[in-house]
Amino acid sequence: MTATSQALKLALWAALTVLMLVALHSVFLEAPAERVMGDVQRIFYFHFPSALGCFAAFAVVCGAGVAYLATRHLRWDRLGRAAAEVGVLFCTIVLVTGPIWARPAWGVWWTWEARLTTTLVLWLLYVSYLMVGLYTDSREQRARAAAVVGIIGFLDVPVVYFSVQWWRGHHPVIFGRAQSGGLSPDMWPTVWWCLATFVLLFVALVGLRISIAATEDAISDLEERLSQRG
């Protein structure tokens, strides 16, 4: 690792730390309480960016899968694996914060409404993506199978996004007038701070995981060469 890349990584994590502190201050001290749900609505500022983050991550997985199938270069598989792990993490946050928010808002921890159900399916699809490597010792076979699963799994992302429009559900409107259930204008600055924080967190975690995956692949190559010599 060069001194320049090391400095860039340190700057990235420093910027992320600052953004996190600003976002937390904005969520708990600056954003107004929602007039109906009160302070419990503040969990939205973590729930919504996590949802967009997992969509972005799975889009990267899909793109990396297409690139791998076209080129057979393992660097695309490393990118796909890294993005999938971060995407599953963000999707898990969505599935945990959703019921915490739903309990006081809807009176139940979980209801099988369209968006919740399709999000759970999305999580299961990409957990399956991560499990593909457990059933084969060949990196090429694993990468090929994972690429196919990653591409197919992404088909559920637009279903999750449009589910509240296609089927009746309980999820509130985000992009709309405040009088129609959308966010009030004084909430949007906090939303943007949180979105910026999660974008930078996504970049940092994917970069870190790619570095780890490259090291793992190098160790695997070394072990394979040593076994061939033996």
| Ramachandran sector of residue 172 (left: φ over 0; alpha: ψ -120 to 50; beta: rest) | beta
Q: How much is the average pLDDT of 209-215?
A: 87
Residue of 3, 5, 32 lying closest to 208 (CA atoms): 5
pTM as predicted: 0.87
Q: Name, in order, each residue with C-beta under 8 angstroms of 180's C-beta and a sequence gap of 6 or more.
A: 173
pLDDT confidence bin for 71, thresholds 50/70/90: very high
> Which of 128-137, 162-171, 208-217 is the most confident on average?
208-217
CA distances from 214 to 74, 115, 208 (A): 10, 36, 10
Give the span between the Cα atoms of 67 and 69, in whole angstroms: 6
The three state secondary structure string of the chain is CCHHHHHHHHHHHHHHHHHHHHHHHHHHHHCCCECCCEHHHHHHHHHHHHHHHHHHHHHHHHHHHHHHHHHCCHHHHHHHHHHHHHHHHHHHHHHHHHHHHHHHHHCCCCCCCHHHHHHHHHHHHHHHHHHHHHHCCCHHHHHHHHHHHHHHHHCHHHHHHHHHHHCCCCCCCCCCCHHHCCCCHHHHHHHHHHHHHHHHHHHHHHHHHHHHHHHHHHHHHHHHHHHHHC
pLDDT tens digit sequence for 181-193: 467 788 889 999 9
In one-letter notation, the amino acid at residue 50 is S
Q: How much is the average pLDDT of 195-220?
A: 89
Give the span between the Cα atoms of 187 and 168, in whole angstroms: 26
Give the span between the Cα atoms of 39 and 82, in whole angstroms: 34
Instruction: Flag the least confident range among 20-34, 94-108, 185-199.
Output: 94-108
pLDDT tens digit sequence for 117-164: 999 999 999 999 999 877 777 788 889 999 999 999 999 999 998 887
Average model confidence (pLDDT) across the chain:
86
Give the span between the Cα atoms of 120 and 124, in whole angstroms: 6
Q: Is residue 167 scored above 90 in pLDDT? A: no
Burial letters 43-69, b for 16+ CB under 10 A, else e:
bbbbbbbbbbbbbbbbebbbbbbbbbe
pLDDT of residue 182: 61
